[in-house]
């Protein structure tokens, strides 16, 4: 059951990563809607349309992470301690705290992305999106490193 | 009925208070409860590990949630003319500061 939940947690994280990256790039480096290139189309998406999906995906990913966290604490953390990998453990500790900070900004993020978009909050939207994108990327990469670390170490 | 700017004010207050309350809860170890995952039991406040590890993370989040919800309750009563004075940048500036503080707090893992 733990493995199933871990995989579902990972799948939600992949979807979240795609959505927040699309939104962050189209917010910070907006492109033309009718762009012909792949990068142009990537940058030209409607950023506001991702906001609700990002909130739902973030919450679902966080809930699944919280459900499997006790099993990690019981079975896996001890192994990491034995492998003497303080940087990996530190990165995971940051992941758990960063995830909570991400939850804290979600209501404000959702509010400032509501339609119609207010021009006065453009910088706030950019910053909140960047914060969530950073947290999502950090947590995704660290989750994968921790998940695979025993294999790397071996 | 809450006016739109007041909703923004409450959302900003939530982001600021939740982030600060959470970092204080972690730093000073103030969880509402301790979870013992092997025994499957919960104890109020800080409890030492028994029958395996003790988990404080859920308790820290709950501490922060209580503080943030209380702050939001107060914030919802603040008149709109005062709520307007709070800049929206607080919603991201404080959480970014908290992220940096966590990196500082856990630097020992990376500097061994």
Number of domains in chain A: 1
Taking contacts as CB-CB distances below 8 angstroms, the residues of chain A near B3 are none
Tell me which chain B residue has its CA closest to the CA of residue A110: B11
Could you give phi then psi for residue B41, rounded to 5 degrees? -115, 160
User: Once rounded to an integer, what is the mean pLDDT over residues B82-86?
Assistant: 87
Interatomic CA distance for residues B109 and A86, integer angstroms? 5
Q: What is the pLDDT of residue A33?
A: 63
- Indicate whether B51 pLDDT > 50: yes
Interface confidence (ipTM) of the complex: 0.92
- Indicate whether A111 pLDDT > 50: yes
- Indicate whether B1 pLDDT > 50: no
Domain that holds residue A119: 2-13+49-153
- Indicate whether B24 pLDDT > 80: yes
Which tokens hold the place of B75?
A: 């914030």
User: Once rounded to an integer, what is the mean pLDDT over residues B44-66?
Assistant: 94
* pTM greater than 0.95: no
User: What SS3 state is found at A90?
Assistant: helix
Tell me which chain A residue has its CA closest to the CA of residue B51: A74
User: Cα dihedral sign for B6, B11, B17, B21?
Assistant: positive
Residue A37 lies in a domain: no
Measured CB to CB, residues of chain A less than 8 Å from chain B are: 66, 69-71, 73-74, 77, 86-87, 89-91, 93-94, 96-98, 100-101, 103-105, 107-112, 120-121, 123-124, 127-128, 130-131, 134-135
User: Regarding predicted confidence, which is higher, A150 or A96?
Assistant: A96
Residue A43 lies in a domain: no
pLDDT in tens, A17-49: 999 999 999 999 887 666 678 777 777 778 889
CB pair distance less than 8 Å for B89 and A97: no
CB pair distance less than 8 Å for B64 and A100: yes
Average pLDDT value for chain A? 90
A–B interface: beta-carbon pairs under 8 A: 106
CB pair distance less than 8 Å for B91 and A108: yes
CB pair distance less than 8 Å for B22 and A104: yes
Residue A103 lies in a domain: yes
Backbone region of residue B36 per phi and psi (left: phi > 0; alpha: psi in -120 to 50; beta: other values): beta
Residue A22 lies in a domain: no
Write down the H helix ranges in B1-112.
Answer: 4-27, 57-75, 80-83, 90-105
Nearest one of A56, A53, A58 to A102, comparing CA atoms: A58
Domain map (residue ranges) of chain B: 4-109
- Indicate whether B33 pLDDT > 70: yes
User: How would DSSP label each residue in A15-57?
Assistant: HHHHHHHHHHHHHHS---TT--SHHHHHHTS-GGGGHHHHHHH
Residue A80 lies in a domain: yes
User: Regarding predicted confidence, which is higher, B65 or B82?
Assistant: B65
Q: Which residues contact A29 (CB under 8 A, 6 or more apart)?
A: A43
Average pLDDT value for chain B? 92
What percent of chain A clears pLDDT 90, i.e. is strictly above it? Answer: 62
Q: Which helix (H) or strand (E) holds B41?
A: strand B41-44
Residue A29 lies in a domain: no
Q: What is the dihedral of CA A17, A13, B26, A134, to 10 degrees?
A: -10
Residue A83 lies in a domain: yes
Measured CB to CB, residues of chain B less than 8 Å from chain A are: 7-8, 10-12, 14-15, 18-19, 22-23, 26, 35, 37-38, 52-53, 55, 57-58, 60-61, 64, 68, 88-89, 91-93, 95-96, 98-99, 102-103, 106, 108-110, 112
Ranges A12-16, A142-146, B25-29, B93-97: which has the least confidence: A142-146
């Amino acid at each position: 059951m733990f493995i199933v939940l871990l995989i579902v947690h990972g799948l939600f994280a992949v979807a979240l990563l795609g959505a927040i990256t699309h939104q962050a790039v189209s917010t910070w480096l907006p492109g033309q809607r009718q762009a012909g290139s792949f990068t142009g189309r990537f940058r030209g998406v409607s950023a506001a349309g991702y906001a609700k999906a990002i909130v739902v995906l973030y919450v679902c990913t966080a809930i699944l992470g919280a459900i499997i966290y006790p099993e990690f604490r019981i079975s896996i953390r001890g192994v990491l301690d034995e492998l003497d990998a303080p940087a990996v453990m530190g990165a995971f500790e940051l992941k758990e705290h960063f995830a909570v900070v991400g939850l804290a900004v979600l209501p404000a993020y959702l509010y400032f992305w509501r339609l119609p978009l207010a021009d006065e909050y453009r910088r706030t939207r950019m910053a909140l999106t960047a914060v969530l994108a950073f947290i999502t990327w950090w947590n995704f990469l660290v989750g994968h490193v921790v998940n695979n670390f025993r294999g790397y170490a071996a | 009925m809450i006016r739109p700017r007041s909703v923004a004010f409450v959302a900003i207050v939530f982001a600021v208070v939740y982030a600060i309350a959470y970092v204080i809860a972690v730093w000073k170890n103030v969880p509402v409860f301790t979870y013992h995952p092997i025994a499957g039991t919960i104890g109020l406040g800080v409890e030492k590990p028994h029958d395996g590890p003790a988990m404080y993370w859920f308790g820290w989040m709950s501490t922060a949630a209580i503080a943030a919800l209380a702050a939001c309750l107060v914030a919802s009563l603040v008149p709109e003319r005062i709520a307007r004075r709070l800049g929206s940048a607080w919603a991201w500036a404080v959480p970014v500061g908290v992220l940096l503080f966590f990196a500082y707090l856990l630097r020992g893992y990376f500097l061994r």
